[in-house]
Structure 1
Amino acid sequence: MPQIRSLNLSSLQVASLPSSLYQLTELVRLILRDCSSLKEIRSIKSMTKLQVLDLSGSTSLGKFFDKNFATNKELQMLNLSKTKIKWFPLINGLGKLTYLLLRDCKSLSRLHMISSVSSLRILDLSGATNFVEFHDQSLGKLGSLEETNVSQIQIEKLPLDICNIGRLSLRGCSKFKDFPHLKNPDRLQFLDLSATNLISVPSISNLSNLRELFLSCCRSLVRLGDLSSLKNLLVLDLSGCKALTKLADNSFENMHCLQKLDLSETNIEYLPSLSHLTDLRHLFLQKCTNLKIFPSLDSLTNLEELNLSGLKCQGEVDVDFLKNMVTHFPSLSNLEKLKHLSLRGCQHLPNLEGVTTLEVLDLSGSPIVDLPSFENFHNLRSLLLRDCSNIKDFKDLEISEVLKGSIEKLPYGISRLTCLNRLELPKMKDGENEDENGTCHPKELLHCPWRISSWPLEEVSSSRMPDIFVDSFQVLQLLKNNPTIGKSFHFLVHPVEEETDIGGKYFYQNELFYRDTFFRTGKLCQCKKEGVDCQCRKLQQSLEIRGFSDYPHGLEHLAAQAEFLFLIDNQFIENLSSLGAESTRKMKFCWIEGCSEMESILSGEKVADNQGNSKEIVEVTTGVEHMLEILRVSHAVCLKSICSGNLQGHGLRFIKCLYLEHCPELANCSTSYCLYNLQILQIKFCDKFRTLFEDEQPQPSLPKLHRLCLWALPNLESIACIAESLQTLIVGECPKLESVNLSTLHSKILEILQISSCDNLREIVAASDLALPGKMLIRGCPSYILRY
């Protein structure tokens, strides 16, 4: 061991390291990533050959014993990202240090004596939100510095004389006001000043080799200097600069290499000529509502993506008429490589007949009355017509027919679009604002910030069937008036649009999972015969809610009809009670994945007794448990319990199958009486899982359990449970498990026993009066013995 050169103890859950580790004098690489319990690093002075020290993700680390790295002169990489350090040993003597990574060090406020580290190439302080200043006034001696990322920190200015730097990012530095001063500006290739407090950008003619310039969301930026010298620029992003109203007429004259130009959400009134941007691939002018004159696009023959959403150009006119009319929408006829076109919310539209190369066409919210025939749009994959209420040929189309997948009846040749995989349709017949009783629905339901798609179950394996997204309010009203329609569909509900903290928008990526594949490949149903017609594989009345921060109100009626509920990447769920009793009254199957705020599956609700005596408090469930039979929970990073509180309703009393995976905070399955009818229990990749149940007297019991699988549970210590009906027991990769006592299970019908890779397993105890399982497979357990 003293001769060891590389040591990786990542994810080790210890508060301190053994003293022997600090005596590894030959150590070159020490990797301690994600050791979340580690609090301190003692003296490493004896590690004189150390080149790499990686402590990233050790979120409790806050202390170094050493005051400096004077004896660690070979150190080349120091990574302290995502730690709690307020200070660390002085690095002024590290002549070979190349990488200094301090990303997301929230407690770090200052950096001392960095200017003497002449070999430094990469400095990353991004996300160190309390960092306020560099101790060094100048970084002129850092001649090797290639990249500096100080995004989202609190500095007002950079040290002087930064030289030879190639990449510089100050994104999100809200106090930063002045354009950075660089000693050798011609070396800079990447500059990101997005979401800073810049008021003006001076002439940047000396940035002759700049490739990418990001100034998005600089809300105070009113003046932009001369850009004509940026001959090598590939990307220019000014989106969200709301105070910017003008660009110099010659701004784009020499930008022959420019590939992406984003001026979205600026208040520019006149665009400079685009005729020199012959290599432009992406042009974004979304919500440029003050734009008065639009130059010709004829020279942009390489343009692939054009976003003109929200523009208010004058009049819808023919392409030929537009060729010399810059006051209207420009001609699109020369854009022979155009693939993505967004005209969302545009009051007037250009002629679309000639742009048959399109793959994505977004006309959402526009007042278009008629569409071109799509017969020649052979590459169109996505057609978005949401809120296009004036399109005449959709007004008489019944939404119930569309839900059935009858795309043959769709107008404008849509049914012949063989590549189409996403279709958002406007309101159709059956979309009145009143139900059959004349009751007007709340206005907020008429403009839901979410969309619904459906998939007929008989078409679930069809590659020809596109994802069809229809008006949310119409679907809810249709299902309310005709409840039987929803029995044969899988419904997916997703947010229409989300927004990042600093203004960058992205649309939720719609995915329709084939649920029958999940059941088969995931073995959620343990049918003994292939092809058996079991209830688990019938997805009638199936609903998926995906990607929400808050509960999508208006879905209560649809959720109340769902027997199969999928909850994926939702932040509003703390437990199943978050959905409400009415929304889950028919639920038989629930699939929960990536719900990072979920702390328990079922939680009690405190109420007073019948006499209103506040001292007599009992806990009752909210009705979720009444029908639920199959539950799968995965990647719930905050889940700590199955049933919390002393549940009067005996928790998940009808559940038959429970699958728990990647729940790192879960230590046990709460109490066994919550799971009295459980038949299948599978627990995998739960780092803190220690024992099946909390301490119970008498011994916990699952009388109907016939299959138990415990896999990759690094802290599992015991399997203490009475399971008279157990037929299959599978245990693997549980290094702390020392004993498996079959006699305590009291099962007379155990058929399969499989134990693998349990390094510290010492014994398997079999009952003397019971036969051994018919199939036993024990491997990777070098020290075990079988005894009676």
Structure 2
Amino acid sequence: MAQPIEEILNHFFGEHQASKVVLAGDAGAGKTWVARKVCDAALKKELSYGSIWIVPAENPEKKPLLDTIASQLSLLSCDEEWVDDEDSEEVKEKKDKEQEDLKTRILDKLEKMRTGKPKNQALNIDRGIQGETELGHEAAAGKLRYLVVVLDNITEEEEESIVTELKNILHSSFLKMLIIRKESTDGNAGAARESKGDAIQPDDTKAIRLEPLSSRDALILLRGRVKTEVSENQMLAIAEKALGLPAGMILVAEALNHICLEDGVQAFEFAMDDVAKMKGDDITAVLQFAYDMLPEETEIAQLPSLSDLVELRELLLKGCKKLTQLRGLSPLEKLEVLDLSGCCDLIIGPEESFSRMSRLKKLDLSGTKIESLPLDCFPSNLRHLSLRDCNILKQLPSLESLSKLERLNLCGAESLPKFKADFLHHMVKLQILNLSKTHLDELPSLSHLTDLTELSLSGCCCVPTGLEVLTELKVLDLSGTEVQSLPLENYSKLHKLVLSNCSELDTSMNFGSLSHLEVLDLSGTKMTHFPYEVEHLPYLRELHLLNVKQMQVDWSRSGIFSNLKKLRLDCCPKLVSLCDKSAKYEMPMMQTLELLDLPSLSRIGVEMPSLETLKVRACVKLEELEWNCFMNLKKLHLDCCPKLVYIFYPAKLPENLETLKVQLCNKLETVFKGDESGEYEMPQIQTLELLYLPALKRIGVEMPSLETLKVRACENLHDLELNRFPNLKTKEIDLVSPS
């Protein structure tokens, strides 16, 4: 890319001394990048004293060109912007005078930048006087410097009016104009035009077309950008399928730097096959692929202006936590998807509006720092809108025009004042509604929302009513509300029901009619008897029973958990075992089991051949784990089990275990109970954490695959025990207890 930069510099400052260069090429060819490099090089070589950028696409309000220039020169404060609410002759005269004053300040600032002195102190400038004027001295010394003005992404029609206005403002500031156009240029055709004044000469114009990179230049670019292991053939394929356009290659290269090539190569090949079919401006669609391959949390702090990407359909910036602002959004009128979720430092000002994006269907502003938005900022074609966790949003824009909306998420918009959900009246196509953690005064009738499949009102102070008509519901979350009863017989399609912390819930509620239920959460309710009817629900996979201190359960009843994949038990003070000692009981489908704050639990007593994750916390009577019950375990977390003396013994080693985390087990002496002279191995363990285990003396087992070891406050553990893991990548050891 060095060749066009030097060519432009030569046209401007070499023997040609051109006053205008037109740079053309396809979108993504790198025109704006080349223009920046030209400005930087001219300044570094003392051929220019500065640059000004004019980008019409970033000025949808059509602010005066004078304002744009003054703003870039730091001469225009916010309170100096023009107000058009008065049209009296007196006001117009005042504005004219202010504009003339501003123009004088601009010329003074530019002259000071060029010569080091304000215009009124500089010598008189006259091209006809040689050797006597400051211009003559600079020319004689070879130090004549110019102002580079870049007109970015303009049409020929815009160029004519802007150049005329620029000549009126900067008539004596020694200009070099670099004009960027999308359309191709053939020689000087169309570049020169009739022009008056001393700044631009009609026969003093050169034109350059920026061609796609050659294979050699593409390889140089990619070698400097790609940090993962990519072969030369793969790089050539990237260049070929990206049509040799630098923007596409750079974005794909940066995306590849954030993914595991082995996992991403197939998706990459599919995407690049699509890129190969693109022509012209359609190359901008490669942005969606590149952003999609970025990790959920990226280090992107700023992006160049997007105003050139007028054909862009999807812009995905999810998780760009350090991104603070976006420039050039307004011109993206063909945008269909805009995802800014997780951009927690992004500030969207109240002047920002999305209403011009008439094709926009999905807008996600979750987690952004929005305080307010214009009342009519959303296009009527919108289908999905998320303002989730916009916790400083103080004013809800008008949503009444969104009759096509299918998904609305206001969860966590806590700063919104109390309001009534009247805006729902027009949303007859709504399928998913989340008003959790909002200050909703009352919920109006939902009888018109017959397509609603998901409803979340968690933490709302209002009492939900009129729910009997929502027969299409698949997900219903009423956690923390004051709901008393539900027409469960109407919810045959329900898959997930969350009633946690519903303190007023009818304890005699029967769940037997929920034939498609998969997840049931009754945590924190006052239910006194276990709903045994759930054992007949064929699809039930998760049951949450946290803090149900009053619930009586006959654990000897076979079948109540036979289909479950996940079970959470918390604060069940009378639970001794999941099965009677005399019975043999199996939970064949169980994959995740959490036993939390069960003070009477002394054994588990149930075989779980499919169990992969076991978490045990504050089970103070548990003395050992029955490893014959869950031999396929992959993750084990033990927290505050004071009667455990060891964890494993030779006859029953879970060979598939990958993660072991143990803390606050005061009597634990060894991880593995076996003969010290014997050699035992757990081949799959990759992560081991041993925290606050004052009695721990040894680990006692080989772990050849261990990569991460974290040990804290295990003062009796011998150092030799920590030097037996040759493949460690991460090691944090502090054996002494904190004082």
Q: Provide TM-score, normalisation by structure 2.
A: 0.45
Q: Which has the higher helix share?
A: 2
Q: Which has the higher contact order (CA 8 A, sep 6+)?
A: 2
Which has the higher Rg, Structure 1 or Structure 2? 2
Q: Which has the higher strand share?
A: 1
